[in-house]
Structure 1
Amino acid sequence: MRALLVVNPKATTTSERTRDVLAHALASDLKLDVATTSHRGHATELAKSAVVEGVDLVIALGGDGTVNEVANGILADGPSPDLPAVAVVPGGSTNVFARALGLPNDPVEATGALLDALRSGRSRQVGLGMADRRWFLFCAGLGFDADVVARVEDRRAEGSRSTPGLYVRSALRRFYRSGGTRRSGPLTLEVPGQDPVEGLCLGIVQNTNPWTYLGGRPVNACPDASFDLDLDLFGLTRMSTLPTLRHLSRMLGTSGKAPHGRHVVSLHDCATFTLGAEEAVSLQVDGDHLGEHRSVTFRGVPRALRVIV
């Protein structure tokens, strides 16, 4: 089996020595080429070339951003049964996609699980989401949470490490920058066949659960989201301190119940919907900030990608 290992050398939790050991282990079972990314979007370029060259498997060694880029490269012309499969060796700080698939969070253990899956012929077809023309694996967001991602990226560019504490501090600064209360937000939700819902402060879109992790704890805005269904949405038309803390507590809880209340807007297993705003707001997909947009249409695509698990 021909395989390409796409390595992000800036991955948070793997050293150069670890990457060499993992590549050697994979090469024992695969006809393996190794490519190292050098800039944002490079993993997408490498995955596109792998499709053209008839590679059977593309392995992403890095964080969720690296896996997202690989998926976008493979699916550049849409899903097809002839496309390479994808495998993940987690090397980032959060690794939501890998953990949602049930893979070990340790890269060495994940490599062992991958080799076992390859020898056993195990794979899974998973549904993905699209934000306009950009594929996403597990989540997207417009508004508040995307603003937090943008702030975190700015801090990382200044040399800060990606840690749960950095996200919490960034969220608190973003929340209290508006005085701690937002009575109405800029977003309007449009679902085909339904009346528009105005005034959303944020829209969190999930393709699976959890939405993210806070250290080792899963955070679930939409606990019923699944790779086997269409998309789920969690939105808020008002953000104030105590209600927001209650929603966050429920997201961090183990009850499996979604946050609810008079200011909560939710969708489950929805094939398509649009979030728009009069002025451009931040968009994130799989934890990467994609700039500001005035309107984004989200769509679920079933069985879009074959993953080795």
Structure 2
Amino acid sequence: MRALLVVNPAATTTSARVRDVISTALASDLKLDVATTEYRGHARDLARRAAEGGEVGLVVALGGDGTVNEVVNGLLHHGPDPDGLPQLAVVPGGSTNVFARALGLPNDAVEATGALLDAMRAGSSRTVGLGLVSGTPGTEDEGVPARWFTFCAGLGFDAGVVGRVEQQRELGKRSTHALYLRQVARQFLADPHRRHGTITLQRPDEDAVSGLAMAIICNTSPWTYLGNRPVYASPGASFDTALDVLGVTKMSTASATRYAAQLLRSTPERGPHGKNAVALHDLTDFTLQSQAALPFQVDGDHLGLRTSATFTGVRRALRVIV
């Protein structure tokens, strides 16, 4: 099989030597081309060319969740086709690697490569559902390009935290869990909308859910990891279903502390709950609209401020080696 290995040289947890080991191992079983990303969006462009060329049967993303997201958006530029598009494989190289770990891959890049080689030799793969977010017709965000996501999106508080972490990384800070927790505290103190939510969730033929201060959209579970600890915002979310939503209508100091504790104690059976929590499962189509422009993120990539976003859960969108 001809394959393309897309390498992010800035990936947090891999070195040049490790990347060489991985490419050599993959080349033993594949007709491998290697491409190193040079700019933001380059992985998307490389994957799109691979999908359009018709000769590549597998694209391997070596990097973090951002690299994986770009590759997925390149592969699906013309829409989902799990039996016609190149398959996807992931070698985790970032600080968190939610998508790879949710697939059951080891969090070590070399071990994950070994697992992928075993899966390829056994012909083991699966289809996964993905989320698609686009601009909402009739709003100022109507013309925003559509974006696929693999594990989560967020409007409001959590996206604000993601934006703060990105700012710190641009200043040269390492992406650590301590950095993330510090930005959670700073976002909480600075968020002007956490006590009175501005977000309304609308679904076809259903009553609107209004007054949300934060909305987390999950395509799989766990939502994220703190070190080796999985965190479950929507335990029922799955690659085999559409999208789940966790909304919070009020984030006072007491309620935010309670929900933070629930997240830290969350399990595959139970996530955050309470009178201010809204949990919705397996949504195919819905829209979030906010009275105020709020931070927005997709797969841990901060995309600026948005007042609206339309979501679609697409089952069987892409085939993955696992």
Task: Answer whether TM exceeds 0.5 for this pair.
Answer: yes
Instruction: Identify which of 98, 101, 120 aligns with 1:99.
Output: 101
- Cα deviation 1:203-227 (Å, max 9, x = unaligned): 0000000111111111111011000
Distance (Å, rounded) in 1 between the aligned partners of 2:198 and 2:169: 27
Partner of 1:200: 212
Matched AA of 2:215? G
- Cα deviation 1:20-49 (Å, max 9, x = unaligned): 111011001000000000111100000001
Distance (Å, rounded) in 1 between the aligned partners of 2:272 and 2:95: 26
Query: Offset of 1:260 from its aligned partner?
Result: 1.4
Query: Offset of 1:129 from its aligned partner?
Result: 0.6
Distance (Å, rounded) in 1 between the aligned partners of 2:305 and 2:226: 25
For structure 2, list consecutive stretches of 5 or more residues without a partner in the other structure: 135-145
Matched AA of 1:82? G
Matched AA of 2:52? V
Q: Is the 8 A contact 2:232 2:266 kept in 1?
A: no
Partner of 1:154: 167
Partner of 2:8: 8
Distance (Å, rounded) in 1 between the aligned partners of 2:161 and 2:194: 16
Q: Is the 8 A contact 2:195 2:251 kept in 1?
A: yes
Equivalent residue pairs, number: 308
Against the structure 1 CA distance between its residues 264 and 31, is the aligned structure 2 distance closer, same or farther, given a 3 Å change threshold? same
Aligned positions of 1:221-232 closer than 5 A: 221-232=233-244
Query: Offset of 1:178 from its aligned partner?
Result: 4.3
Partner of 1:18: 18
Aligned positions of 1:174-193 closer than 5 A: 174-178=187-191, 182-193=194-205
Against the structure 1 CA distance between its residues 275 and 92, is the aligned structure 2 distance closer, same or farther, given a 3 Å change threshold? same
Matched AA of 2:38? S
Q: Percent identity?
A: 63
Q: Is the 8 A contact 2:223 2:232 kept in 1?
A: yes
**Is the aligned partner of 1:299 residue 2:312?**
yes
Partner of 2:141: none
SS in 1 for 2:303: strand
- Cα deviation 1:74-93 (Å, max 9, x = unaligned): 00011112100000000000
Distance (Å, rounded) in 2 between the aligned partners of 1:238 and 1:221: 16
Partner of 2:119: 117
SS in 2 for 1:275: strand
SS in 2 for 1:14: coil
The runs of at least 4 consecutive aligned structure 1 residues that moved more than 3 Å come to none
Query: Offset of 1:236 from its aligned partner?
Result: 0.7
SS in 2 for 1:167: helix
Matched AA of 2:319? R
How large is the RMSD of aligned CA atoms in angstroms? 1.2
Q: TM-score, normalised to structure 1's length? A: 0.97
SS in 1 for 2:47: helix
Against the structure 1 CA distance between its residues 178 and 74, is the aligned structure 2 distance closer, same or farther, given a 3 Å change threshold? closer
SS in 1 for 2:90: strand
Query: Offset of 1:254 from its aligned partner?
Result: 4.9
Distance (Å, rounded) in 2 between the aligned partners of 1:246 and 1:294: 28
Partner of 1:139: 152
Distance (Å, rounded) in 2 between the aligned partners of 1:258 and 1:217: 14
Distance (Å, rounded) in 1 between the aligned partners of 2:164 and 2:195: 23
SS in 2 for 1:232: strand
Matched AA of 2:3? A
Q: TM-score, normalised to structure 2's length? A: 0.93
